[in-house]
Structure 1
């Protein structure tokens, strides 16, 4: 009995799926489809994973709905990842096939009149051995990369029901939404961010968004949407040159997101203006945001998912974990503590960590919670957060005076900022701490759930905790605290570019903010506009110009109308600095970018390239960097060659080139690079974007040859596409040239169709009536035949060329091919047929160089003949050029006789 997993979109694939299910059951097979097999209350993710794990074959029903469905995409990629046989079935004739299934042949079930015969074929397909099955390829699935998604927190508890509900809402396909917004709503400290992060790490969700899951920390202090768009662009590998203004950035996202499968997660949204610009019609993308405000949800038209407080059992479980106890060992007071904490996860974590420290911890915690000054707390915080703030007040009061002082230091950091331990160590050294003291202090805060460990010796803080300590410090004292941090980094008052104790780069990203908050605005203005030393220091530290541009934007945003005369001058200076930056970027040539790569500064090179606004120049810059990185890795034999993301970024730049010819040329260049790197599926997808049939046919031919050489089984399909494309070309010359290129590629791959394709190319060229075009077409054919090693056919084709220049060109290429193959005498004889002294000298030069490289004794004689031929050229310039090229070839070959 064959176990069969059926993947389909409910909106338009259910009927065929149900019919297949019933017929497979009737044939004694064991099919599985979600509406038939998931029990009420079952876990969507777990049940689907189990069904895929145990299936023998997966049927992927391809409909218009399945192409847009995250569930279907997740199911398909999970099947590939687990090595399952997949048979795609077309529900609609015009249904798009996802990239990861391109290499699989499919059965067309779109014509229901043929269902019975197709079903019989399907049964036969499933019974075949894997080696004979119609799906002959196991494509490598593409899993979502996680960008800035926070790690799993300490002592978290699984909230399976909430996660299931959220997952169904975000990636369910029972909707026609093309702008899909989901809002995770609940009060502060209730666990929204943790639940959102759990969703991002869910295997089904990751499979549903192969282009990435991008986490953007927003917060109440969000500084406009520009930093958010920059984070999205960076995650997707899109050049920042498209994101110079809000309008340009949003326009760019409207262009690229409809072609992506991305989940955008905006954490802690307070203002609807932070979400509205991202309401983008992109059928395969989804947007999730966390918020406390129902008003924001209603105003942006999002689907809300409520996050409730923990159940009594969950609350006790979380308390026990933070206290380091088992649930069974908790005293009666712990139940009352859970009630006093409102069963809020953040409050439970802080109080549980405090209570677990000593024997009387629970009674002590309960007493403090019940006796906290609630009226005082309510003066500073809204009523909904009073319970949480009471727990926070109790937890902070439980710290020693020294611990509390250091905890209040966190008031200077921005919301959603990741804080390196080294930054705190530098600051706290002024308070007599060494690095071990700093580690101990941070460990105390983390274990008390007053701080979160973000990994890699970096830390984050919940925004409510930040609100609390800022209220404790007070607005008047905050500038002094910022000044204290700055002084710790720069005790001698040096110019900031000269400060070199920022190992983790915190200062390079945040100095402007701290200067602003310390009210050292003159210093900030001088830093950004005085000279370029700070810019150069940031470039060296971050390998990107983005940080400096962000600093300029931050400084500009501080100016508000009405402005004084001096403020107008300063603002104009900042705008001028931004203009200078863009001019500086444009002054970097491709040669400069190559030099930076060879100096080991490829990230800096990328920073400059990505700020190019013209798509053609951007593409050229990215490909220059890719080529230089590849050459550097090959020459040094160390380090990894450039990866796929850089080529993906180049493809996006190529897609933006307006001129069709230039765009096709760029895409063809990109296909060659992708094929050389073994990225065959991406190369074929890129080739499909080429609009000109001649260019696309040539590119597909080259790709197929590369696939065949690598032993990739999709070469056959690519050759077929190249042939179909060439056959559509109406211009005789272009079709003959495309067929010649295809035949050469087929011959190189040992393909049986090469002879027939050469014949078609010959017939097509012969039918061209215009002499010049026919001659050039035959020259292309002769060159292709020579490239394929068909030397006699190439010579015969060249003899049919009536235009001297074209015939000489064909014979010269034949000489080069014969020489490369070691057929030196044949090459010499072919060269003698060239009537033009210029072309014959060039052909003899190539032959002599090949002979010298092979150590052949006749090289000297051939060089002599080439020299005599070159001297007979009557035009002075041509003769001088031919002799220079000959001298260079002789020097390279080590033949210095005149």
Structure 2
């Protein structure tokens, strides 16, 4: 374990020993393959809760960075939020040696592997999210000895693709788990013919430098392309990682169900249910904290967070922490540095169409990203989702209320809400039973703006 993390554990030792219940935390750490069953038994063999806590910390201090990270995540999962905060600032990355050796934390050999695999470069404006990054890498380590799926899911613009690309910028991870390389494919919303072209492109890339008669003719169907890809991944690129970015539907995903190691980014949490094999999930929170969002704005305008104008905090507040919106605003301010008040006003007025900037992201503006998510719903469900504009900010609603609103049976409403939750269009508060539901503020703002626009259009068309 690196010295900074070890020192943090020692500083916090008294507080941790006083408050934690080791048995709760060790369940998670055994699942993470950090603690052995023998180590767990030795800790539980201590007569008092505090002695068990002391024994657990002694075991952790003899382990590596992954143990520190697993312990931190266990604290979060068991609602020890105040204790997790004690450890947060000293969270190590999984390859601290690489971070110290190279300016950007990526060795030349890893850079070459990622370039060959088509992994996107790190954005010019980039801020670290170590807790999330380490969680993705932890799940990827589970694929070291077996094929499977790691699904990174979240709402539009939450930073899923950036996080997936960042997770594989790690020498130890690639060396231990994916010595066959890393191969990136952007899938997106595509018809069958477009999907075939994408798989053909991937197969062509994998066949470069290989002598094979099969490479002379591209696959003619999705099924043939799937078999070609299966052969390449198993025979020529064993223990490699396939990254499928921005997958929208189960048909596309099943075309890659070839028993290999896959990192998947999607807005639809349940998408991986349609494929076989071991599955792990990593949710991406919809918002950055204020400190990270201000850091992004400062990087765009070549300044320091503490020296940004007073409108900066208000802009971050109106962005609701969305990495997409903060980045869109930052890119605009880089071109027009005197428009802080103007863009703040556009955010306050919900003028999303005026907040647009061409970038590497598929959508130039927030309204396009939100609308794309709605288009994948069935038409009848799309109308029901738009009815959610009646919801109020910071108020969670039970399914019974929506059953009255929609005039549907409670069980049917719960099924529909589950679909919205799976597609990152709605959020569920699991701390209440029955479950309560709520929209992210940006989603609610978008729906309200759409409703106002629809009413204006209707009034105009109804005029004699």
Take 1:295 and 1:462, find their aligned partners in 2: how far apart are those partners? 22
Question: What is residue 165 of structure 1 aligned with on the other side?
Answer: 135
Q: TM-score, normalised by structure 2?
A: 0.52
Partner of 1:830: none
Q: CA deviation at 1:306?
A: 0.9
Distance in 2 (CA, whole Å) between partners of 1:343 and 1:355 is 17
Distance 1:371 1:44, change over 3 A: closer
Question: 1:729 is matched with which residue?
Answer: none
**Alpha carbons of structure 1 residues 255 and 355: separation in structure 2 relative to 1, 3 Å:** closer
Q: What is the match of residue 462 of structure 1?
A: 362
State whether structure 2 residue 248 is matched by structure 1 residue 270.
yes
The answer to whether structure 1 residue 255 and structure 2 residue 155 are counterparts is no
Closer, same or farther: CA 353–277 of 1 in aligned 2, 3 Å: closer
Of the three residues 334, 354, 376, the one matched with 1:394 is: 354
- TM-aligned CA deviation for residue 209 of structure 1: 2.1
Measured at CA, do residues 370 and 349 of structure 1 come closer, stay the same or move farther in structure 2, by a change above 3 Å? Answer: same
Query: Which digits, 9 at most, give the CA deviation of each residue in 1:113-167, with x for residues without a partner?
Result: xxxxxxxxxxxxxxxxxxxxxxxxxxxxx95663221122121111111111111
TM-score, normalization by structure 1:
0.28
Aligned to 1:310: 288
- Match among 285, 290, 300 for residue 322 of structure 1: 300
Partner of 2:266: 291
How do residues 547-566 of structure 1 correspond to structure 2 at under 5 angstroms?
none
For residues 663-721 of structure 1, the C-alpha deviation after alignment (integer angstroms, 9 at most, x for no partner) is: xxxxxxxxxxxxxxxxxxxxxxxxxxxxxxxxxxxxxxxxxxxxxxxxxxxxxxxxxxx
Q: Matched residues in 1 for 2:184 and 2:225: separation?
A: 18
Contact 2:153 2:282 in 1 (8 A): yes
Partner of 1:514: none
Looking at structure 2, the residues matched to 36 and 229 of structure 1 have their Cα atoms a distance apart, in angstroms, of 35
Q: Which of 118, 123, 138 matches 1:153?
A: 123
CA, structure 1 residues 274+314, in 2 after alignment: closer, same or farther (shift >3 Å)? same
Q: What is the CA–CA distance in structure 2 between the aligned matches of 1:291 and 1:211, rounded to whole Å? A: 24
Structure 2: any 5+ residue segments left out of the alignment? 1-31, 40-60, 73-90, 372-464
Unaligned stretches of 5+ residues in structure 1: 1-9, 18-30, 54-77, 82-141, 374-389, 397-449, 453-459, 472-898
Is 2:173 the counterpart of 1:212? no
Asked if 2 retains the 8 angstrom alpha-carbon contact of 1:372 and 1:394, the reply is: no
Rounded to whole Å, the distance in 1 between the matches of 2:113 and 2:334 is 41
SS of equivalent residue, structure 1 residue 154 = coil
Other-structure match for 1:43:
92
Matched position secondary structure for 1:275: helix
Could you tell me which residue of structure 2 aligns to residue 534 of structure 1? none
In 2, the alpha carbon distance for the partners of 1:36 and 1:350 equals 35
Question: In structure 2, how many angstroms separate the alpha carbons of the residues matched to 1:333 and 1:349?
Answer: 16
- Equivalent pair of 1:145/1:211 in contact (CA under 8 Å): no
Structure 1 segment 320-399 matched on structure 2, within 5 A: 320-355=298-333, 360-373=338-351, 390=352, 393-396=353-356
**Contact 1:297 1:303 (C-alpha < 8 Å) held by counterparts:** no
1:191-230 residue pairs with structure 2 within 5 A?
Answer: 191-207=159-175, 208-222=177-191, 223-230=193-200
Give the Å deviation of 1:245: 2.9
Counterpart secondary structure, 1:218: strand
Secondary structure of the 1:228 match is helix
1:662-701 → structure 2 map (5 Å cutoff): none
Deviations 1:599-619 (A, max 9, x none): xxxxxxxxxxxxxxxxxxxxx
Q: Confirm or deny: 8 A CA contact 1:143 1:209 kept in the other structure.
A: no
Q: Quick one: structure 1 residues 335 and 146, their matched pair in 2 at CA, closer, same or farther if it must change by over 3 Å? A: same
Once the two structures are TM-superposed, the CA of residue 243 in structure 1 deviates from its matched residue by 2.8
Q: Indicate conservation of the 8 Å contact 1:272/1:299, yes or no.
A: yes
CA–CA separation in structure 2 for the residues paired with 1:242 and 1:143 = 25
Distance of 2:361 and 2:159 partners within structure 1: 14
| Cα contact 2:153–2:269 (8 A) shared by 1 | yes
Change (3 A) 1:336 1:51: closer
Do the aligned partners of 2:188 and 2:245 also contact (CA within 8 Å) in 1? yes
Per-residue Cα deviation, 1:207-240 (whole angstroms, up to 9, x for no partner): 3323221111111135453223223322322643
Q: Distance in 2 between matches of 1:187 and 1:244?
A: 34
Pairwise CA RMSD of aligned residues? 4.0
Shift of 1:37: 7.0
Once residues 203 and 44 of structure 1 are traced to their aligned partners in structure 2, the CA distance between those partners, rounded to angstroms, is: 12
Q: Structure 2 CA distance, aligned partners of 1:348 and 1:12?
A: 37
Higher RCO, 1 vs 2 (CA within 8 Å, ≥6 residues apart): 2
Q: Distance in 2 between matches of 1:250 and 1:333?
A: 52
Change (3 A) 1:51 1:349: closer
